[in-house]
Structure 1
Amino acid sequence: MHRLPLSEAEAALGDELSTVRPDLSAAYAAGLPGARAAVLTRLWRALAHEPLPWIARRERGREGLTLHLADGRRLHGPHADPYATSAYVTELRLDERAYDRPDRLVTALAVPHASGFATELGHSVASLALSRAQPGLSGGEPAASWEWEQRVVDGHPYHPNCRSRPGFSVAEQLAYGPEHRPVVELGLVPVDDCLVRGEWPKWLRDEDRVLIPVHPWQAAHVLDRGHQEGFSAHPLMSLRTLALPDGPHVKTALSARLTSSVRDISVYSIETSATVSAFAEEIAARTDGLLHVTRTLGAVSAHSPALAAVLREAPDLYARAGERVVPVAALAATGLPRSPGWTARFARLALTVGLRLLDLGVALEAHGQNLLVVLSAEGEPLRLVYRDLADIRVSPLRLARHGIAAPRMSGRIVTDDATTLRRKLFGSLVAGALGATAGSAAALREDLGSAVDDLPRTADLAALLEEPLPTKALTLMRLEPGTPGDSWACLPNPFTGRAS
């Protein structure tokens, strides 16, 4: 192995940590090799399966997978499991040179936009090592869903930028990152001319002015106006959304790039929020009680994506006595005990709900952050809770087939294209949430095999069973930053092994 010194991002974070929290320095340094392997494993998944234009062909052999690059070089690594969540890739070999660091590998590949992406990967490794450096959790099982969320340390299970937080200092990561379990003090910005949808509560008003909750990072780095003291809240997985103690969740604008996206709140999503929430509540009622949607209580915008907020119900409202609500992303991350056949039963529940809504005309973005499961006292999956309606897709044509009036809205949320609708659901639920919960292609295949036996035979189910499985090409999108919209890859279908 060709050994290199710490990357710039690793060294910079380590230097700052030695000043801010020297007690974590040793754990951070010890965690770097594991963090590199975790990010390298995610990167290898992308290189093995995404339609990257500079990869001429892929050759699978007994010794692993070889990528033949368009310039004649070869990149070799182990067989790539598209659904693996363990860090099984410790090095990749580009021609005769081995790399154990994803940022160094991408720099060596020297493809278009490699430099910026390599910088993001360096941040991802360093931040992941920092996330893992915190002392272990103590105490028993969490009481609230936000406590489960804070046990998800590694971030996105498949994105190489799983912990990339450029623009955040070490002190800010420790102060705002949910995995560090802080309490965040939100500020309040008074606004005279404000777009309001739903019911904005009196405690967030100052006479005729609306008080918009703002994240302290946003207040420090983006906003050019003052704010007053607000309230304390617990950050959730998305970092910009926080749970009030014994109260609703508040989604704040956060104009920083985390994983792939800048986390502000579009004026469009505020304008449509009340309509989408009421419509989603109506559709969820058609699942025989298997799905609840957290209602949007109110949404406001100062006519700017950089200053806006959304209040929505806490998922815990949908748990009965003895039950608990757990984000799907936390199922694997927390090692929650599962009885034999648990994942198959959970997959059946999730597919039943997802395909039912898709047939009606609603495609959920049901990844592990948006989707939560209600568990019985014995830990059995009973119902689902879905939150954050900003990126669902609605088909007026499918709704009409079932005699359902389409909501009065336009824009990106509305589409009748079957491919777009299926990608939205299958990419998030099957390739994302269920894949990460299973943890490997073999386990996912076993879980899904029994889960679909009793599902209605629809055209959507046929596509799920027979066609390659779509997933967002997250690395391709970072290497083609000027291309609008989502890019997609096809993974081997866990039912058939097919991929395009």
Structure 2
Amino acid sequence: MERVDRTPPPADPVPAPDAADAHAAAPLLNCLLREVAEPLPEPAGTPPGGAASRTRRTYRLPGGRLLRVRGTRRPAEPEVYADGRWHRLGHGELVKLTAEVLRRHTGLSNHELPAEMLDSRAALAALLAARARTEPPADPYLRSEQSLVSGHPHHPAPKARGGGPVAGWLPYAPEAHARFPLTLLAVREDQVAEDGDTSALDALGAAPPGYRLLPAHPWQLDLTGADLAPAFADGRLLRLGSTGPTAWPTAAVRTLYAPAADVFVKFSLDVRITNDVRRLWRHDLLRTRRTDEAVARALAAAPGDAAWLSDRGWRTARFAFEELAVLVRDGLRGHTLPGTTPLLAAGLVEGFEGSPLPDAADPAAWWAAYVRAVVPPALTAFADHGVVLEAHLQNTLVAVDAAGTPAQALFRDAEGVKLLPEVSRAAGWERLVYCLVVNHLMEVAGALAEHHPGLDPWPAVRHELAAHGLPEAAALLTAPALPAKTNLLLRWTGADGAAARYRPLPNPLAGP
């Protein structure tokens, strides 16, 4: 086992990492440190948590190598100890180290994931350059959706775009403030498959007699165009041009918001983004109506003003069922409280111009209002209706009033919802705790505390959990650990993207 002097010489002098390196390294380090590393005791005299960003924490990796980083929530400046010195790692060197550690830890090799990590860093460089020359949207909601430069804080390659050329995907990237019209196709009526209310699609244009309108994401057509050539040739599919009003890609990349029509449309993309290839899979589409109706009933009965953005219907072509599928989701104006502005929870964590976090006059009251809006509806849906909301950062909007105070939660995405007893109660509760507490509340609380040092976010969360009366919620207040999803190990071992695996994370709720 390698030993290290606790006061070693400084790291090798190297140029400061560029912005793309820093953005790409932070989530990869979060994964590496959470999933496989062992934190070493901090030396005496280490400043308390408020100064954590100015100190370094040392970790032992599988095999005995030592890694230290600066900061906690978004670790930076990784250094590895070798030959009696600390050596700074750029992102490429960090990827190599991660691959070596995971081969030793799992006994498996993986050539795909390191390439995705490098693709994520290259994508970040392109996104940062594009953001520097484009104006963000004026609407604060759209700014929050398009603010996720770093992206998922615990994924090894959150910005990978399938390894394709930048010119192929950058025009459609929300992080680059993209907006564009939808491509309009028409599918012959005898080739249409659909379910639910799809009338919003027909309002986007006009199809010729004998055909139904089928909007498409232009990037998806670029990816699958050759496969569709026979359908265009024999008349099953027609090109009609494009919509006049523009649509804005949201944080999910493949889901777009059309403000003029106040509707969201979600498409298939044959590209892996984080853990999954982002297709609208047939089995998910076929269960959408039942899942959507279950969530709508659950949230209608929930306390407060929580709302569900319904996945109200879908349409596709029978001969390209998944490739051309489009799902229609409720817009915002019929659901948000008067005088409020919806904001993406993930955007609050990442930060954007106009975010209420930095300027909260009373951060404890702001946080109590946030927790009161988000937690009770999710608990009620689970306890009374057997609905497991995927209430993570990207599927939750929080509407704030004119003072920036949270007033309402809006949840979305039936695809990620689980229903009891399709999953066991224990598995459903574990998933809810991960999505709501670990992925969501811990991240927003951490971002808020960075702006307002000294804030203790956990009493407010304990209060809402204890007030509900749900036995699992009461048990959570004394549990030693929370479930943390292992995205790095999932991807390294080639597990199905939907097959969550968790490792214990110290539970900040189990306090006094």
Answer yes or no: is 1:423 the counterpart of 2:423.
no
Q: Please point out which of 84, 98, 103 is paired with 2:95.
A: 103
Answer yes or no: is 1:272 the counterpart of 2:287.
yes
Answer yes or no: is 1:324 the counterpart of 2:341.
yes
Distance in 2 (alpha carbons) for counterparts of 1:197 and 1:441 = 42
User: Which structure's CA Rg is the greater one?
Assistant: 2
How far is 1:309 from its partner?
0.8
How far is 1:392 from its partner?
0.8
Answer yes or no: is 1:389 the counterpart of 2:402.
no
Answer yes or no: is 1:74 the counterpart of 2:65.
yes
Q: In the alignment, which residue of structure 2 is the partner of 1:459?
A: 471
Distance in 2 (alpha carbons) for counterparts of 1:250 and 1:158 = 27
Opposite residue 423 of structure 1, the aligned amino acid is E
How far is 1:453 from its partner?
1.9
Q: Structure 2 vs 1, CA of residues 380 and 40 (structure 1 numbering), >3 Å: closer, same or farther?
A: same
Q: Please point out which of 152, 159, 169 is paired with 1:156.
A: 152
Q: In the alignment, which residue of structure 2 is the partner of 1:42?
A: 27
Contact 1:99 1:105 in 2 (8 A): no
Render the CA deviation track for 1:249-290: whole Å, top value 9, x for unaligned. 100110101122111001122212222222221111111342
Distance in 2 (alpha carbons) for counterparts of 1:422 and 1:371 = 18
Contact 1:142 1:148 in 2 (8 A): no
Answer yes or no: is 1:251 the counterpart of 2:251.
no
Structure 1 unmatched runs, 5+:
6-29, 397-413
Q: In the alignment, which residue of structure 2 is the partner of 1:135?
A: 132
Q: In the alignment, which residue of structure 2 is the partner of 1:355?
A: 379
Distance in 2 (alpha carbons) for counterparts of 1:207 and 1:200 = 18
SS at match of 1:318: coil
Contact 1:316 1:324 in 2 (8 A): no
How far is 1:216 from its partner?
1.4
Distance in 1 (alpha carbons) for counterparts of 2:316 and 2:484 = 32
TM-score, normalised to structure 1's length?
A: 0.80
Answer yes or no: is 1:369 the counterpart of 2:367.
no
Opposite residue 325 of structure 1, the aligned amino acid is P
How far is 1:497 from its partner?
7.4
How far is 1:58 from its partner?
5.5
Distance in 2 (alpha carbons) for counterparts of 1:79 and 1:496 = 27
Contact 1:73 1:95 in 2 (8 A): no
Q: Please point out which of 430, 446, 452 is paired with 1:439.
A: 446
Opposite residue 388 of structure 2, the aligned amino acid is A
How far is 1:489 from its partner?
2.2
How far is 1:350 from its partner?
1.4
The range that moved more, 123-132 or 251-260, is: 123-132
Q: In the alignment, which residue of structure 2 is the partner of 1:216?
A: 218
Q: Structure 2 vs 1, CA of residues 266 and 89 (structure 1 numbering), >3 Å: closer, same or farther?
A: same
Q: In the alignment, which residue of structure 2 is the partner of 1:405?
A: none
Q: In the alignment, which residue of structure 2 is the partner of 1:65?
A: 58
How far is 1:103 from its partner?
2.2
Contact 1:188 1:214 in 2 (8 A): yes
Answer yes or no: is 1:339 the counterpart of 2:361.
yes
Q: Write the mapping of 1:148-297 to structure 2, written as runs, cut at 5 A.
A: 148-192=144-188, 193-201=191-199, 202-203=202-203, 206-223=208-225, 224-225=227-228, 226=232, 227-231=239-243, 232-247=246-261, 248-297=263-312
Distance in 2 (alpha carbons) for counterparts of 1:322 and 1:124 = 38
The range that moved more, 387-396 or 247-256, is: 387-396
The range that moved more, 296-305 or 417-426, is: 296-305
Opposite residue 366 of structure 1, the aligned amino acid is A
Distance in 2 (alpha carbons) for counterparts of 1:2 and 1:297 = 57
Q: Structure 2 vs 1, CA of residues 488 and 472 (structure 1 numbering), >3 Å: closer, same or farther?
A: same
Opposite residue 311 of structure 1, the aligned amino acid is V
Q: Structure 2 vs 1, CA of residues 463 and 121 (structure 1 numbering), >3 Å: closer, same or farther?
A: farther
Q: In the alignment, which residue of structure 1 is the partner of 2:404?
A: 379
After superposition, the CA RMSD in angstroms is 3.0
Opposite residue 432 of structure 1, the aligned amino acid is N
Render the CA deviation track for 1:46-86: whole Å, top value 9, x for unaligned. 22222x5xx7x6644437333242xx3413224884xx1x3
Distance in 2 (alpha carbons) for counterparts of 1:137 and 1:357 = 41
Q: Structure 2 vs 1, CA of residues 435 and 378 (structure 1 numbering), >3 Å: closer, same or farther?
A: same
Q: When the two structures are aligned, how many residues end up with a matched partner?
A: 444
Q: Percent identity?
A: 25
Q: In the alignment, which residue of structure 2 is the partner of 1:491?
A: 505
Contact 1:191 1:212 in 2 (8 A): yes
Q: Write the mapping of 1:28-39 to structure 2, written as runs, cut at 5 A.
A: 33-39=18-24
Opposite residue 453 of structure 1, the aligned amino acid is H
Q: Please point out which of 458, 482, 486 is paired with 1:473.
A: 486
Opposite residue 358 of structure 1, the aligned amino acid is F
Answer yes or no: is 1:311 the counterpart of 2:328.
yes
Answer yes or no: is 1:92 the counterpart of 2:117.
no
Q: Structure 2 vs 1, CA of residues 190 and 471 (structure 1 numbering), >3 Å: closer, same or farther?
A: farther
Contact 2:24 2:120 in 1 (8 A): yes
Opposite residue 486 of structure 1, the aligned amino acid is A
TM-score, normalised to structure 2's length?
A: 0.78
